[in-house]
Amino acid sequence: MVASADLLRVEDLAISFAIMGGAIHAVKRANLRILPGKVTALVGESGSGKSVIGQAIMGILPRSARARGRILFSDPESPGETADILQMPPDGREIRGIRGRRIGKIFQEPMTSLSPLHTIGNQVGEVLKIHTTLSAEECRERTEGMLALVGFPNPRRAYDMYPFELSGGLRQRAMIAMALICHPALLIADEPTTALDVTIQAQILLLLRELQANLNMAMLLITHDLGVVANVADEVVVIYHGEIMEAGPVDAIFRRPTHPYLKGLMAAVPHFDMKPGERLKALREVPVNVENLLGKKKPKKGTDVLLSVRNLTKSFSIRQSDWSFGEVATVRAVDCVSFDIRRGECLGLVGESGSGKTTVSKLLMRAVTPDQGSVVFNDSDSPIDVLSATGSALRKLRTKIQMVFQDPVSSLSPRMTVQNILSEPLEIHGRGDAQTRLASVSALMRAIGLDQHFVNRYPHSFSGGQRQRIGIARALALGPDLLICDEPVSALDVSVQAQILNLLKDLQKELGLTYLFISHNLAVVDYMADRIAVMCGGRIVELAPREALMGNPIHPYTRALLAAIPFPDLDRPLDLGMLRKNGASDTATWGPQFRDDGEEGVLAHTDIGDGHFLLARRSADAKELLPC
């Protein structure tokens, strides 16, 4: 029989959700198989039904879901026997014996998928308590061993820590430990690295691959990221709107994609080999129409500086205390940051989470007050001191600098219609009367390619990409000069990401906007930016024109960031040597010329030509700074 060769077979699976007045068919007659000891990737956009299949395999579908078909699990523990998971009574003893013991699962959000009230050891060890008869000491020993295996530097201490005391990467490692502690035959990883930084993502992928090989288990990797697929998977299954489009070995799929959907998906990912001016092909392109838009200017690109930032510094104090008397530690979130944004350009700001890039954007918006430094905005008639502006100068400044946020869900009020959201900035600044505001809103809707009829809807009836477009329209309402985009696409799918990036590019061209584009994704910044600044630990470590930074990265941190990006290309696997255990921001791995070793003020920005700045020791000579 062929079936016995497969660890898991999904046959004619159909899943629907009962909703008011009908049903949503999330999965339609899906067939797929998972081979033992191999990594099978299930690729699709959000809403394609890929996560629902993962839930169905575990038998943890939401109560409103109805599943038909067969999910056949051939447990290697009991050869020859095949059980249909869908036939088992829900939450019954049989299915609970499979969950956690024979099939493990890790989720996308490591913060929300761990209980904040229970220690790591409690939550990981619980799996052993459910499925084994080990004593408490043995459980603790096994748990600590598992935590060590997934890369916790000090498992004994980590056992008694709470999830919120750990970084995102370590939390995801704890989730992996929880899923693998009973050595399951199958691991379902549902977007395991989407919420993580690139460097951490590379480490987690590496870890998953290693563990998968060492424990000889199969893995179902659910993801939308083709770069991840190319680096990890053996088999690929592509799903689109609940239907399986294409399936096969990774080699065949990547080298000879046949289905137009997969081809489109591949063209939508920004990559480093793009020619200047080459455009991403979004699956669904948005037409931009900026006629009648407020503040439409002649596009001009010059060398005059629009925003000048000098020596910006901000420290936060953190209270670290248990039951004892608290000690106050200070962390320099932003440390002597200086840069210029030229009129009409896009300056990219790259760094991992915690590098201080979002704090910089908050400082520029005056949401946080800096300890020292200066920010000057060169308006068309006179320069404005951003940090000390008050009264009418501040009001004027607010119309000049606007922000696009990361999360399109929480950045739009759920109780306001699109009409309210888009006209609110106009109302605050007393622009026009009700009639002209209405006209402005419809001009904004045209600019972002949304239909006029949608203005009376609420944000929840839009998709993530549409919501982000509304967020962009809100930022454009007052006709700003400078747009600060804080991770505008990192919460979006690849296909939607391309659409938003193209929209931002078009708007920049049509309206003569200047961007500060903040992102952790170097490939995205590479597509958008004219010049790129790389931040690490609150400092800008390298700042250079795009071609120079991508073609000739010098700082070890920049190089580590570049090395950690997974390419959707089988011939460019991740460079494992570059992915050190502590992440790219571990200064110990940097060359001595880039470290300050605790000394104050020994590092300075050095120009190595063509506007390529590096943060290095003053004493280091130019030769040391060139790549070896």
Should residue 162 be labelled a site residue for another protein when binding is judged by CB under 8 A? yes
CA 525 to chain centre: 13
Mention every residue, 6+ apart, whose C-beta is less than 8 A from residue 503: 286, 288, 448, 449, 469, 472
Contacting another protein within 528-587 (CB under 8 A): none
Give whole-number Cα distances, 427 to 274, 567, 620, in Å: 42, 46, 55
Decide whether 162 or 454 has the Cβ nearer to another protein.
162
Q: 156 in the Ramachandran plot: left (φ > 0), alpha (ψ -120 to 50) or beta?
A: alpha
Pattern 291-330, another protein, x by CB under 8 A? -------------------------xxxxxxxxxxx----
In the complex, minimum distance from the CB of residue 256 to another protein, in angstroms, rounded to a whole number: 36
In the complex, minimum distance from the CB of residue 320 to another protein, in angstroms, rounded to a whole number: 7
Should residue 143 be labelled a site residue for another protein when binding is judged by CB under 8 A? no
Should residue 387 be labelled a site residue for another protein when binding is judged by CB under 8 A? no
Contacting another protein within 340-369 (CB under 8 A): 368
What is residue 60's three-state secondary structure? coil
Amino acid identity of 16? S
Should residue 460 be labelled a site residue for another protein when binding is judged by CB under 8 A? no
Neighbours of 324 (CB within 10 A): 7
Query: d(Cα 607, Cα 609) in Å, to the nearest integer?
Result: 6
In the complex, minimum distance from the CB of residue 578 to another protein, in angstroms, rounded to a whole number: 32
Q: Contact region for another protein (CB under 8 A) — 75-83, 97-105, 558-566, 594-602? A: 97-105
Should residue 428 be labelled a site residue for another protein when binding is judged by CB under 8 A? no
Give whole-number Cα distances, 452 to 247, 438, 439, in Å: 40, 11, 11
Should residue 450 be labelled a site residue for another protein when binding is judged by CB under 8 A? no
In the complex, minimum distance from the CB of residue 533 to another protein, in angstroms, rounded to a whole number: 25
In the complex, minimum distance from the CB of residue 589 to another protein, in angstroms, rounded to a whole number: 29
In the complex, minimum distance from the CB of residue 575 to another protein, in angstroms, rounded to a whole number: 33
In the complex, minimum distance from the CB of residue 318 to another protein, in angstroms, rounded to a whole number: 5
Strands 65-73, 482-486: pairing kind: unpaired
**Is residue 110 within 8 Å of residue 120, measured between CB atoms?**
no
Query: d(Cα 335, Cα 322) in Å, to the nearest integer?
Result: 29
3-state per-residue secondary structure call for 461-482: HCCHHHHHHHHHHHHHCCCCCE
- Determine the length of the chain: 628
Should residue 332 be labelled a site residue for another protein when binding is judged by CB under 8 A? no
Query: d(Cα 124, Cα 142) in Å, to the nearest integer?
Result: 10
Q: Which of 79, 89, 116, 430 binds another protein (CB under 8 A)?
A: 116
Decide whether 407 or 424 has the Cβ nearer to another protein.
407
In the complex, minimum distance from the CB of residue 313 to another protein, in angstroms, rounded to a whole number: 15
CA 161 to chain centre: 26
Pattern 166-205, another protein, x by CB under 8 A? ---------x--xx--------------------------
Pattern 56-95, another protein, x by CB under 8 A? --x-x------------------------------x----
Decide whether 317 or 452 has the Cβ nearer to another protein.
317
Closest CA to 350 of 197, 584, 520: 520
Which helix or strand (DSSP H or E) is residue 136 part of?
Answer: helix 136-149
Q: Which of 3, 5, 23, 130 binds another protein (CB under 8 A)?
A: 130
Should residue 100 be labelled a site residue for another protein when binding is judged by CB under 8 A? yes
Which helix or strand (DSSP H or E) is residue 153 part of?
Answer: none
Decide whether 100 or 479 has the Cβ nearer to another protein.
100
How open is the CA angle 467-362-493, to the nearest 5 degrees?
30
**Is residue 437 within 8 Å of residue 427, measured between CB atoms?**
yes
Decide whether 215 or 604 has the Cβ nearer to another protein.
215
Query: d(Cα 15, Cα 56) in Å, to the nearest integer?
Result: 8
DSSP string, 310-334: EEEEEEEEEEE-SSSPPEEEEEEEE
Strands 186-190, 218-223: pairing kind: parallel
Query: d(Cα 422, Cα 443) in Å, to the nearest integer?
Result: 11
Pattern 32-61, another protein, x by CB under 8 A? -----------------------x--x-x-
Decide whether 8 or 179 has the Cβ nearer to another protein.
179
In the complex, minimum distance from the CB of residue 187 to another protein, in angstroms, rounded to a whole number: 11
Closest CA to 408 of 498, 352, 454, 472: 472
In the complex, minimum distance from the CB of residue 363 to another protein, in angstroms, rounded to a whole number: 12
Q: Contact region for another protein (CB under 8 A) — 31-39, 99-107, 485-493, 610-618? A: 99-107
Should residue 372 be labelled a site residue for another protein when binding is judged by CB under 8 A? no
- Interface with another protein (CB under 8 A), residue total 44
Q: Which of 73, 107, 517, 594 binds another protein (CB under 8 A)?
A: 107
Decide whether 114 or 550 has the Cβ nearer to another protein.
114
Q: Contact region for another protein (CB under 8 A) — 25-33, 109-117, 257-265, 384-392? A: 109-117
Query: Would you state the structure tokens that stand for residue 262, as one six-digit string?
Result: 């997969």
Should residue 104 be labelled a site residue for another protein when binding is judged by CB under 8 A? yes
Should residue 227 be labelled a site residue for another protein when binding is judged by CB under 8 A? no
Contacting another protein within 244-283 (CB under 8 A): none
Decide whether 164 or 453 has the Cβ nearer to another protein.
164
**Is residue 495 within 8 Å of residue 502, measured between CB atoms?**
no
Query: d(Cα 214, Cα 20) in Å, to the nearest integer?
Result: 48
Decide whether 74 or 113 has the Cβ nearer to another protein.
113
> For residues 549-566, b (16+ Cβ closer than 10 Å) or e, as one string?
bbeebbbbbbbbbbbbbb
Decide whether 131 or 457 has the Cβ nearer to another protein.
131
Task: Give the bridge partners for 240, in sequence order.
Answer: 243
What are the residues binding another protein (CB under 8 A)? 55, 58, 60, 91, 96-101, 104-105, 107, 109, 112-118, 123, 126-127, 130-131, 162, 164-165, 175, 178-179, 316-326, 368
